Amino acid sequence: MSFRRRDADMALLDVHEICVRFGGLQALDEISFGVEERRITGLIGPNGAGKTTLFNVITGLHPPTSGRIVVDGEDLTLAKPHVRARKGIGRTFQRLETFGTLTARENVLVGAEMRRRWSRESFDVHALSDDLIDRVGLRSVADEKVDKLATGTARLVEVARALASKPRVLLLDEPSAGLNEAETAALGALLQDLASDGLGVLLVEHDMSFVMGACHHIQVLDFGRLIAEGTPAEIQANPEVRAAYLGSSEVEAADATVAVPEISIATRAASTNAEAVASAATTSDALALRGVRAAYGIIDVLHDVDLTLPPGHVFALLGPNGAGKSTTLRVACGLLRPTAGTVHVSGEDVTGKSADAMARGGVCLIPEGRGIFPNLTVTENLRMATYGGGSFRRVTERAFERFPVLAERQRQVAGTLSGGEQQMLAMARALATDPKVLLLDELSMGLAPRVVEELYEVVKRIAAERVSILVVEQFAHDVLGIADTAAIMLHGRVEYIGPPGDIGEALDRAYLGGVT
């Protein structure tokens, strides 16, 4: 299977000054770039950068506020999604969208039949399907139902089905999610092969090692703006990109001509530390995870995670999107049962206990997105914390002492508070339960740097009250100043544990290179 050639100086897909507003929120701000044939273009950025919104604009699932989408020289800005598909835009999704009760071959046949019906072309759909099955390496499982296949294999089925429509440009949303190293390498080789035949590929991906190894050119979004573009080496060395991923700390940019050294000693230290974690944990430890594995269905996410959290200790768990950080918190608080390993709280094995039992036992999670009741007032949100026992007066007194601004807003509906005030409310309500362990997921997300600094000062004071805190944070430098220990997680494994001041180089490699 091959793809039509075109003039080398023309972009196959032209994204021209795309803007998207959701009410008062500027989700995308004049985004412009091109995707050329025979090239893999990466689209990366932190959570909330606008990547999925842009994908939805390109494929017609969401209209832009302004700007144009041009494919192969034709303006498709007002075209419906099915028209764009027929004009050459193919797409896969972050969440698998295959027909689970059909075989791999039948899934690809669906795409081929759809192409033949609307195009009125004369071709053998079975021959095309067989060709694509061979090309993506599915011959051995072609007649197996997709819901019985491993995640990586099922993703290849989705890619083959998208190719059956004979696209000019293929948009891939997190195609390596759930894949092991061998499957990821095979996918990268496949994309390179497809690009060499003339296909243009736009890749959204959180696996930085995959992005840096597969892409010819990379675009970087942050808060809806295009902040950088260039080769993988140029992106890795760009200080604005580093700040977007790591936070606002003044970090010297790496020289693009000098490779950041491997942190081999740190990596070995991680495994040594992990062994110490597993063997030295005692009843004095507030929280200990030992050899924890976890999965979502057939997708393995955590692999032998070992962490120990002493009383009054702030432990920062860092890493790029998709590393497994939030899953670790879900296991620690009982929202997700591990497939192997154990969870201990104050020396007691609590593995498999429900989330409500864990909360009553002193483990409290503040999830990403805060988790407040937006239609209730501040006072009513705090009252919700008393249903498990405790004095409402004591809850409000302690909340307003820690967060004086909440006292001024106690009759205000929580959904109308600022983002920082909502985060304060979530923390105040959690602390009303007198937790032994506080789990914080992306405390800084969507907040101004000044507000983040204030919140982490509160975290520091809470730790001084002998509350143990495990904080997951993408913007690493925001939390390193108050952490006692920091760890880097990649691909579901803890790759480094050590003092916060010693992990700068490892962080750079982890976030923008996918390795430590």
Do 198 and 296 share a domain, yes or no? no
CB-based contact 187:175 (threshold 8 Å): yes
Q: What pLDDT score was predicted for residue 336?
A: 93
Long-range contact list for 351-356, CB < 8 A, 24+ apart? Answer: none
Q: What is the pLDDT of residues 147-199, one digit of tens each?
A: 888 777 888 898 899 998 889 999 998 888 767 777 788 888 889 999 998 89
Do 317 and 443 share a domain, yes or no? yes
Q: What pLDDT score was predicted for residue 5?
A: 38
Q: Which residues pair with 488 in a beta bridge?
A: 318, 496
CA angle 467, 340, 274 (to 5 degrees): 55
Q: What pLDDT score was predicted for residue 241?
A: 87
255, part of any domain: no
Do 75 and 212 share a domain, yes or no? yes
121, part of any domain: yes
416 burial class (0-12, 13-18, 19+ CB within 10 angstroms)?
Answer: exposed
Do 418 and 446 share a domain, yes or no? no
Residue 275 vs residues 266, 278, 280, 343, 491: alpha-carbon distances, Å: 14, 5, 8, 15, 19
70, part of any domain: yes
Q: How far is CA 383 from the centre of its chain?
A: 33
For the domain that residue 339 is a member of, what is the CATH number? Answer: 3.40.50.300
pLDDT tens sequence for the chain (516 residues): 443 434 444 688 999 999 999 877 788 999 999 999 999 999 998 877 889 889 999 999 999 999 999 998 899 999 999 999 889 898 888 777 888 889 999 999 998 998 888 888 888 889 999 999 988 888 889 999 988 887 778 888 988 999 988 899 999 988 887 677 777 888 888 899 999 988 999 999 888 888 998 999 999 998 889 999 999 999 988 888 888 777 654 433 333 322 333 333 333 344 444 444 444 445 578 999 999 999 887 677 899 999 999 988 999 998 877 788 999 999 999 999 999 999 999 989 999 899 989 988 889 898 887 678 889 999 998 988 887 667 888 888 888 888 888 999 989 998 888 888 888 898 888 888 788 899 998 887 767 777 788 888 888 888 888 889 999 987 777 788 889 999 988 888 898 888 887 776 677 667 677 555
* Domain end residue (candidates: 113, 143, 166): 166
Exposure string of 311-345, with b = 16+ CB inside 10 Å and e = fewer, is eebbbbbbbbbbbbbbbbbbbbbbebebeebbbbb
Do 318 and 448 share a domain, yes or no? yes
Do 446 and 358 share a domain, yes or no? yes
509, part of any domain: yes
Q: What pLDDT score was predicted for residue 505?
A: 67
Do 26 and 109 share a domain, yes or no? no
Report helix, strand or coil for 225.
Answer: strand
Q: What pLDDT score was predicted for residue 263?
A: 33
3, part of any domain: no
Q: What pLDDT score was predicted for residue 281?
A: 46
Task: List the alpha helices (DSSP H) in 26-150.
Answer: 51-58, 81-86, 104-119, 125-135
Q: What pLDDT score was predicted for residue 4?
A: 42
Do 386 and 277 share a domain, yes or no? no
Do 272 and 331 share a domain, yes or no? yes
How many Å apart are CA 286 and CA 373, to the nearest integer? Answer: 29
How many Å apart are CA 170 and CA 200, to the nearest integer? Answer: 6
Q: Domain span at residue 412?
A: 373-433
* Domain end residue (candidates: 118, 141, 166): 166
**Quick one: which of 331, 328, 358 has its CA closest to 437?**
358
**Quick one: which of 231, 171, 160, 165 has its CA closest to 201?**
171
Do 439 and 429 share a domain, yes or no? no
Q: What pLDDT score was predicted for residue 133?
A: 92
Q: What pLDDT score was predicted for residue 257?
A: 29
Reading phi first (left if > 0) and then psi (alpha if -120 to 50, else beta), residue 319 is in left
Do 352 and 439 share a domain, yes or no? yes
404, part of any domain: yes
* Domain end residue (candidates: 128, 147, 166): 166
Domain count, the chain: 4
Q: What pLDDT score was predicted for residue 153?
A: 82
Q: What pLDDT score was predicted for residue 369?
A: 72
Q: What pLDDT score was predicted for residue 415?
A: 87
132, part of any domain: yes
Q: What is the pLDDT of residues 31-78, one digit of tens each?
A: 999 999 999 999 998 877 889 889 999 999 999 999 999 998 899 999
122, part of any domain: yes
Do 442 and 407 share a domain, yes or no? no
Which residues have CB under 8 Å from 144's CB, separation 6+?
A: 103, 104
Q: At what angle do helices 104-119 and 125-135 cross, to 10 degrees?
A: 130
C-alpha dihedral, 61 to 65 to 68 to 71, nearest 10°:
0
Q: What pLDDT score was predicted for residue 107?
A: 92
Kindly state the tokens that stand for 222: 């942050």
